[in-house]
Amino acid sequence: MPLPRDARVWIERTIAQLALEGPGNRLVDFAGQAVFDDPLVGVADGDDPLFERFRSVVSPRHLLPREVLSRYCAADADLSHVSVIVWALPFTEEIRRSNRGPDWPSELYSVARNSGGALNDEIRRDLTKMLRDFGWAAVAPVLAKEYDAFRSAEHTFSSSWSERHVAYAAGLGQFGLNGSLITPLGSNVRFGSVVTNLPIKPTPRAFGTHQAPCLESHGQVCRLCIERCPVGAISENGLDKSKCYAMRRAVRERCLETYAKTFHMPLGEIVKNGKRESGYSLGCALCQCGVPCEGSSPRITLEPRTLSA
């Protein structure tokens, strides 16, 4: 199989190019401004025991990288290495700044989130195709028929491939009080991933715990995401997914029709309860904006500071 001379560099450059130069990275209704800045890329060993652990902390249905890849390659494919490539796409500062107001996500953030979601699907598809064109096996689990997102008695909502958790496995960050993964580029990012048999050295997890520094003192040192959430979905105990879901559904019900008529809103893939369809992706993310972990890993002090709007 042809191997790019430096697989890691090739992967990083390719993902950056797909993200920054993809037409979906430009918002035609907002003077062509970009959705995402330079991405961050990490790699996990597909046989990392963490993936088994995700079957208890995320869902018993969580896919194992080797298992899903083996369904998308020739029977005699060499699976001596399985790598999970994961990327974090950070929203630009202008978009993050627009979402620092109280109570309701901004129009700009909403349109950018939807465009960014569709672009992220393109990146998953394009990277998979490029790797296959090189002769490697590759699959984007979120786009595979095995992927599902569903209600769960234990975890309220769950999925069979959590890119947030997979990003943790790939050394991209630690979990904050609001449940976001806080990367060196902050928590206001979107994750994507592809599993391949291309051997790439895993990214070390350069931290001793899965919890972000803000939780070192049981969440007492910052807590700004608690204040920022308009529906009280965050507490010292973490995120109440039901309250958060109700807020996101309210945003969708109030805004989607108008946004879809007013703005260029590309469709992405939406999966729910075993059904896959084209749809729009709106969200909230007020707890990721106007907080110390918005665009970088937080520098925790005993005197929390908000970012100015």
Given a contact cutoff of 8 angstroms between Cβ atoms, the answer to whether 25 and 19 are in contact is: yes
Q: Does 285 bind ligand SF4 (CB under 6 A)?
A: yes
Tell me the C-alpha distance between 293 and 278, whole Å: 32
Place of tokens 């048999």: 197
| Beta carbon of residue 234, minimum distance to ligand SF4 (angstroms, whole number) | 5
Which region among 57-65, 94-102, 143-151, 282-290 touches ligand SF4 (by CB under 6 A)? 282-290
Instruction: Indicate whether 173 belongs to the interface with ligand SF4 (CB under 6 A).
Output: no
Measured CA angle at 85 (ends 82, 90), to 5 deg: 170
Contact between 141 and ligand SF4 per CB under 6 A: no
Please report the sign of the dihedral spanned by the C-alpha atoms of residue 240, residue 246, residue 112, residue 105.
Answer: negative
User: Is 176 among the residues that bind ligand SF4 (CB under 6 A)?
Assistant: yes
The dihedral of CA 44, 49, 52, 57: what is its sign? negative
Sketch the per residue contact string, 102 through 131, with ligand SF4: x for CB under 6 A, - otherwise. Answer: ------------------------------
**Which among 23-31, 95-103, 152-160, 174-182 is the span making contact with ligand SF4, rule CB under 6 A?**
174-182
Return the range that interacts with ligand SF4 (CB under 6 A); candidates 33-41, 50-58, 222-230, 260-268.
Answer: 222-230
Residue 287, interface with ligand SF4 (CB under 6 A)?
yes
Q: Which is nearer to ligand SF4, 81 or 241 (CB)?
A: 241
Q: What does residue 133 show for φ and ψ, rounded to 5 degrees?
A: -60, -30
291 interacts with ligand SF4 by CB under 6 A: yes
CA-CA-CA-CA torsion sign (270, 244, 248, 224)? negative
Nearer to ligand SF4, 70 or 211 (CB): 211
Q: Is 132 in the site for ligand SF4 (CB under 6 A)?
A: no
Candidate ranges 50-58, 59-67, 123-131, 233-241; the one touching ligand SF4 (CB under 6 A): 233-241
| 149 contributes a contact to ligand SF4 by CB under 6 A | no
Instruction: Tell me the closest approach of the beta carbon of residue 150 to ligand SF4, in angstroms.
Output: 19
- In whole angstroms, the minimum distance from the beta carbon of 216 to ligand SF4 comes to 10
| N-terminal to C-terminal alpha carbon distance within the chain | 51
**Under rule CB under 6 A, residue 178 binds ligand SF4:** yes
Residue type, 276: R
185 binds ligand SF4 (CB under 6 A): no
Q: In one letter, which amino acid is 301?
A: T
Q: Which CB sits closer to ligand SF4, 27 or 234?
A: 234
Cβ contacts of 66 within 8 Å, gap of 6 or more: 46, 47, 79, 82
Asked if residues 36 and 116 have their Cβ atoms less than 8 Å apart, the reply is yes
CA-based nearest residue to 109, from 246, 229, 251: 251
Give the closest residue to 269 by CA, choosing from 120, 165, 167: 120
Q: Which residue type is seen at 120?
A: N
In the bound complex, what is the minimum distance in angstroms from residue 176's beta carbon to ligand SF4?
3
Burial 36-73 (b: 16+ CB within 10 A, else e): bbebbbbbbbbbbebbeebeeebbeebbbbeebbbebb
**63 lies in the site for ligand SF4, by CB under 6 A:** no
| Nearer to ligand SF4 among residue 149 and residue 291 (C-beta) | 291
Torsion from C-alpha of 150, 155, 158, 164, nearest 10 degrees: 160
Residues that bind ligand SF4 (CB under 6 A): 176-178, 212, 214, 219, 222-225, 228-229, 231, 233-234, 239, 244, 247, 284-287, 291-293, 298
